[in-house]
Structure formats: C-alpha cells, structure tokens
Amino acid sequence: MEWTREQRYRRLHEVKPTELEQLEKKVANSPWRQTFHIQPQTGLLNDPNGFSFYNGEYHLFYQWFPLGAVHGLKHWYHVSSPDLVNWRQEGTAIEPDRDFDSHGVYSGSGLEHDGLLYLMYTGNVRDKDWNRFSHQCMAFMDKEGKIKKFDSPVIPDIPEGYTDHFRDPKLWKQNDKFYAIIGAQRVNETGVILLYSSSDLKEWKLHGEIQTNLSEFGFMWECPDYFELDGQGILLFSPQGLEPQGDKYNNIYQSGYLVGDLLDVDSLEFEHGPFHELDHGFDFYAPQTMVDDKGRRLLIGWMGLPEIEYPTDKEGWAHCLTIPRVLHLQEGQILQQPPEEFINLRKNNVSIKDELQTDEIKSYSGIQGEQYELICDWMNVDAREFGLELRTGSEEEEKTVISYHTATKKLTLDRTLSGQPVGHAYGTTRSCTLEDTNKLRLRIFVDTSSVEIFVNEGQYVFTARIFPKETSTGVRFYTKGGRAAFEAEKWDLQSDSQTV
C-alpha cells in the first residue's frame, strides 16, 4: 500500500477504532512476531529513547508510528521492567499534540533529577510547504508515571551554521551541571555534534561543536551519546553517508563510537582514536545507553534501519529493539555482553561435545528451535572452514550461516538463504577479522525473526533480522577441508513479557 502524507500524519484520535482493531488482528497473524524482544503491538518502532533507571525500575521509550509500517507521525511509547527481560506495556508516553512537536515527537533521552525523570526530545514541525523546524523540548515523568510537557521548547532555535537536521538530545549530569549533546548537520552538509549546558534543565547555553578529528565523516550524525566507561570518554553516534570500505560500513547507515580522553566541556576538545562500528551485522541503528543502579553501562539499539523494506511491512508492523548489552572497555574497544538477567529466560538445557571430521555436517537431537540461546566453543581446529547453520529447513535450502575461514581469519554471517529477503541491495554477508584465532566462542540468541551473535565475550556482535519459514528450525555444525572440535550448550528461551 502506498501511504499518502495525509495518512502518515493523521493523529491517533482521528483514527476509527475499527481500523486499529483490524490492524491488531493483521499483526497478530504475523508468523514473525518476536518472543523476547521489545516490538510494537502495531505499526513501526524505531530508535530507543529515554532509556533510564528511575524509581527502582528500568524505563524505556521508543519511536513509534502506530498506524502501519512506515515512518509517519512519531510518538514515544513507554515500556518498563524490573529486570531487563520482562517488560510491561505502559502505553503512549508523549504524543505530538503541541505546536512545537506537531509533526513528530522525535528521539531524545532521560535523566533523573529531584525525584522526577526528565525527558528531553526533539519536537519536529513542518509548515504548509513542508519546511522542517526542529525544537528541543522537555517533559518530565513522576513516580506515578504521569508525563507533563514544558509549555515551550527549552532550545527553540537552530544555531547559525546548521541545517534543519538538528535533533536527538542526550542528557547527562557532571559536576552539578547538566549537559546535552545534539546531532546536527553543518550547512556544508557534514555531520557534527553540538554541546549545550544548563544549571536547571530550563535555560540552555550553547558551547559549540565537539572537536573530533572527523571533520568530513558523513552528511549527518544522528542519535549522539557521551559517557565515561572505565576511565575513558566515549562518544557514540550514528553517522549517515559513509562509503563502504571492505568489511566496514556496509549497511545503509552506521552506528559506532570513538574512545578518547574525557571530553573537555569547556574547550570542547576530545582526543580520540578511530571510529569503531558497534555491530557487524545487518540491522542495527540509533543505539542509546544509560547507567543502572548496579553501575552497569547498558546499551540498547534499534534492530532495523531507515529506508529498508522488511517482510513484515505488509503485515502492519516493523522492527524491534535489540536485547540490552552491558558495556566494558578492553584495549581501546568496547566489549558488549548480554546482561546476566538473560539466564532467567533459559529452559531445557541440552549439552553436546563432538569432534567433526573433514567435510562433515551434523545435527544433534535437542539442538534446534525458533527461540533459543546457543553457546558454542570451537577448539583443535585444522579445518579450512567451519561453522554453524541456523534456522535450516529440511528440504529446501533455507539456512543462516556463521562461518570461520582459517586462512583469512574472517568470521562471516551469511543470510543469502535466510528466507524472505531483506536489504539485499546492500549485500547478504557481513564479516569481521578475528586476530586471536585460537579461541572462538559464539553466544547466539535466536528469536522468531532475528539472530544476535556475541563473539568471544562480546568483542564483536552481529545482529540480523531473518525471515525463515516456521518449519526451518534446524541447526547444523560443519567443517570443510579439515577437522574441528566443539562444545555446545543450548537452552530454549521463554519470556513472560507483555511486550511480545
């Protein structure tokens, strides 16, 4: 279905209840609904917003267009959780109902202050000629979950020198002062991040551009984040417009980070190393982080990308969030690991240990499924290539392949035959190079229509949506040109979440 602008910008109260009911039915019939990932009940989800720990629980909001799988009038939808694995639906949190956010409550962040959760977001406005205006707005949530907007934007204008691509404020507090960074585009169409500060969250002062050494690195930087991790400063953002370079930057848009000295908020200097991508798979964008009551730095991302069609679009919904990841720094790179709470979802353990001979391909009883966690340690390898095939079908050659090639030291995720195609114009394989070839641990989370692979304690992560048949539930282990041994453990995963 082609969506007209009028259809995409309808307010929810203008929509007949029967239209929503029909949409809900259509979505409920989708064979690709996830079971332990946060996904929209109807419509399209994109960026995670306002991720925070407040009043003893995790709170998370997401960009939401309720009426179908297109980028229309955006709301913030709210979910909450005591433990990062079981989520409650809290309903629409921020609606585009004011003249400063009439065409979308765009992305932003949350910060607790004086017993309230402050939520800073971008109010997107269009005039009748469809010119865009961007206002940075503030709202706050109290302990009862009630949300109230400030009466006017806290940063009403775009400073001189920047285009209307100016959005996604990320808040933090440092030495009794509040800071916000905003993703922006210079008038010469390069991406950049601007820093503001405030003593009361109401009056904001522009400091200027964060001084990185990436003066020409894409045309727009979306969803910036800054935080300290293990004594270093981390600047995270989603640059648009990078050209592919070998295994790097193969998705339509990227998300990654710079590790550096702590940001100097007065001089704006940020001494940093190279840009690293956060995820080496296909579907990952606009991540956001927060610190919880245990002091963990947690990241969650959108398991999707702008401007790519997905097979669920015709079923009235699109996208989900990734599982959260706990961040640590090791030798200048971020390690990302699933939170320990995910152990609580495990049911029915199966363990195996085997040594595959040359050119063998094997499956094992109990190792299969649609929703599971699989940990696989490979050892004693002399094979030219070895790996795993997931979501395999019995007759037709449906499979999602993770392979390691000894000569090139490349780990590759191949979704050429994963089922219904997604983003094939951007290629069907993704790879990274593993320097330490003596150990390979793959910790894999498979849900109905996704796979997330944590490599060697989170040194790399590959995230992908896949759309296989319901009957494609097999797992096969294989070698080519030599032998390899492995130990594997598998659990079914089951969540009591309301969000699935």
The answer to the question of residue 286 lying near ligand FRU (CB under 6 A) is: yes
Residue 167 touches ligand FRU, criterion: CB under 6 A: yes
Mark residue 187 as left, alpha or beta (left: phi above 0; alpha: psi -120 to 50; beta: remaining).
Answer: alpha
Bridge-partner residues for 450, per DSSP? 447, 465
SS3 62: strand
What span, in angstroms and rounded, lies between the C-alpha atoms of 273 and 52? 28
Distance in Å, CB of 274 to ligand FRU, minimum:
23
122 is a contact residue toward ligand FRU (CB under 6 A): yes
Is residue 106 within the footprint of ligand FRU (CB under 6 A)? yes
254 sits near ligand FRU (criterion: CB under 6 A): no
* Radius of gyration from C-alpha coordinates of the chain: 23
**Which of 320/388 has CB closer to ligand FRU?**
320
Report how many residues bind ligand FRU under the rule CB under 6 A: 14
Terminal CA-CA length for the chain? 25
How far is the CA of 22 from the CAs of 19, 26, 28, 43, 242, in angstroms? Answer: 5, 6, 10, 12, 40
Asked if 288 interacts with ligand FRU (CB under 6 A), we say no
Choice from 119, 139, 223, 303 touching ligand FRU (CB under 6 A): 223
Least spacing, CB of residue 223 vs ligand FRU, in Å: 6
Residue 74 lies near ligand FRU (rule: CB under 6 A): yes
Dihedral sign from CA coordinates of 69, 74, 79, 85: positive
- Shortest Cβ 321–ligand FRU spacing (Å): 12
Query: Residue 134 interacts with ligand FRU (CB under 6 A)?
Result: no
Contact between 279 and ligand FRU per CB under 6 A? no
Q: In what order do the strands lie in the sheet with 105-113?
A: 105-113, 116-126, 132-141, 147-149
Task: Kindly state the tokens that stand for 401.
Answer: 């392949």
CB of 168 to ligand FRU, least distance (A): 5
Let me know: does 449 contact 467? Beta carbons within 8 Å.
Answer: yes
Convert residues 311-350 into a mask of x (bound to ligand FRU by CB under 6 A) and - (unbound).
----------------------------------------
| Set 47, 101, 168, 225: catalytic member | 47
Closest distance to ligand FRU from the beta carbon of 334 (Å): 20
Angle among Cα 84, 302, 229 to the nearest 5 degrees reads 65
Residues in 172-201 that interact with ligand FRU by CB under 6 A: none
Beta bridge partners of 205: 197
Examine the residue annotation and report whether 47 is marked as an active-site residue of this protein: yes
Six token digits for residue 382: 């002399």
Per CB under 6 A, does 47 bind ligand FRU?
Answer: yes
Least gap, CB of 477 to ligand FRU (angstroms): 37
Among 41, 42, 107, 134, binds ligand FRU (CB under 6 A): 107
Cα–Cα distances (Å) from 500 to 51, 79, 433, 448, in that order, read 19, 11, 35, 11
The reply to whether 430 sits near ligand FRU by the rule CB under 6 A is: no
C-alpha–C-alpha distance, residues 120 and 204, integer Å: 12
Residues found near ligand FRU in the complex (CB under 6 A): 46-47, 63, 74, 106-107, 122, 167-168, 222-223, 285-286, 306
Q: Which residues are catalytic?
A: 47
